[in-house]
Structure 1
Amino acid sequence: MIENDAKVWLVLALLAVGTYLIRLSFLGLVGNRRLPDWLARTLRFTPVAVLPALVAPLILWPEATGGTFDPVRGAAAATTVGVGLVTRNTVLAIVCGGVVLFGGLWLIPQ
């Protein structure tokens, strides 16, 4: 833990400046220019790569179960992926996965 309030505010200020500079590099400096085709094509895959990276630890090592795999969460993830692949509808896939998750947690108490 940081023992000094000044250090906390310094770290927060540096993180704020860093975040601002990262966003400025795309929005302020390149925002009104056409991106090269290879870069635009690469940036289209960013959400597809980030979302599984955020969700995978919650499925494989969920904090709610002490880090052990939970079949209910695995079934919800499999349902979400399956519905998404079949229907190509993101909202429907998320809703179906949520229904399986909450229904499974309701039917099988932890």
Structure 2
Amino acid sequence: MTQAPDPTLLWTIIIGLAVGSFALRFAFIGLMGGRTMPAWLMRHLRYTAVAIIPALVAPLVAWPTPTGGAPSLPHVAVAVAVFALGYLTRNVLIAMGAGACGFLLLFLLH
């Protein structure tokens, strides 16, 4: 049986996380919202999605949960196909949609 956490500590953590989250968002939206961003910053921000999406997907391909972390042929095959399709079409939405369809098809046929 697990013990309930101390309510004071729990609410302190929740409020601290809320203040920190607000401060982080306010730093970008509140302080920079009405100003134009420098060209060098806009150029770098363009690559944010390109960096985040692979960082979210790579662990799911390398250590898939359904196999207990062992490499899985369907995961790797779909990842390679999505990478190739994304490279050829230069369209993230097409690549993601094809990945979802390919993943579904491989697991239905496997």
Give TM-score, length-normalised by structure 2. 0.89
1:70-94 deviations in Å (ceiling 9; x for gaps): 1101111111111111112222211
Identity %: 38
Residues paired across the two proteins, number: 108
1:64 alignment counterpart: 66
Displaced runs of 4+ in structure 1, greater than 3 A?
none
1:3, CA displacement in angstroms?
Answer: 2.4
Unaligned runs of 5+ in 2: none
1:22 alignment counterpart: 24
1:12 alignment counterpart: 14
- The one of 78, 92, 109 equivalent to 1:107 is 109
1:4, CA displacement in angstroms?
Answer: 1.5
1:75 alignment counterpart: 77
1:9, CA displacement in angstroms?
Answer: 1.9
Distance in 1 (alpha carbons) for counterparts of 2:25 and 2:105: 40
Task: Map residues 21-100 of structure 1 onto 2, 5 A cutoff.
Answer: 21-100=23-102
In angstroms, what is the RMSD of aligned CA positions?
1.5
Distance in 1 (alpha carbons) for counterparts of 2:51 and 2:109: 32
Distance in 2 (alpha carbons) for counterparts of 1:84 and 1:11: 41
1:3-62 deviations in Å (ceiling 9; x for gaps): 223222211111111010010011001111111221121111111111111110011011
